Structure 1
Amino acid sequence: MGWIYVIAAACFEIVGVVGLSRFSKRKTWLNGFLFVSGFAASFILLYASLQYLQLSIAYTVWVGLGTSLAVVINMLFFGESKSVMRIASLVLIVVGVTGLKAVS
């Protein structure tokens, strides 16, 4: 159950990040709602995951997944660079998070 909470928290973090990006460009109620509710839901779900997982694991996976998803979404939908080095760096994040989980 803890993993479901962490994955959902990372997804809601992306909602918050997209809302933040949109809100910084155009201050509407919808963008503000996405920004605030996305991050609020993310923190609530991360907190709930701590009932099942160690803080070091839950937080690392949350940050790694959130970062990875944000990069992929920005590459696909917001025109950010898709360079080989950027993708390689993304793979290193995933390998690092997986490695931390494997040795704990």
Structure 2
Amino acid sequence: MGWLLIFTASIFEVVGAVGLKLYAEKKNVLRLIAYWGGFFISFVLFYFSLHYLELSIVYPVWVGLGTSGAVLTNIFLFNEPKNMQRLFGLAIIIIGVVGLHMTM
């Protein structure tokens, strides 16, 4: 259950980050809801995941998956560059998250 919560929290963290980017570009209520709502739900799910998993696992996984999701979202939605350095860094983050998962 804890892994499902933290995975879902990471998805909402990406929603919040994308909402923040969109809100910074053009302010309207829908983008504000995506921004605040995404981060709020992410924090709530993060909190509940701590009932099942240790903080030393939850926090890096949450941040790593959120960062990876934000990078991939920006590459595909906002046409950010797909160079080898960026993809290599992304691979290292994902390997680290998988490595933490394997310690449980």
TM-score by length of 2: 0.95
Matched residue, 1:20: 20
Unaligned runs of 5+ in 2: none
Alignment root-mean-square deviation, CA:
1.0
Per-residue CA distance 1:51-98 (angstroms, 9 max, x = gap) = 000011011110000000110111011010100111011000111222
C-alpha distance in structure 2 between counterparts of 1:10 and 1:33, whole Å: 17
User: What is the aligned length?
Assistant: 104
TM-score by length of 1: 0.95
Say if 2:26 is the partner of 1:8.
no
C-alpha distance in structure 2 between counterparts of 1:97 and 1:37, whole Å: 25
Q: Secondary structure at the match of 1:80?
A: coil
Percentage identity across paired residues of the two chains: 46
Instruction: State the AA in 2 paired with 1:14.
Output: V
Question: 2:61–2:100: 8 Å Cα contact kept in structure 1?
Answer: no
Task: Give the 4+ runs in structure 1 shifted more than 3 A.
Answer: none
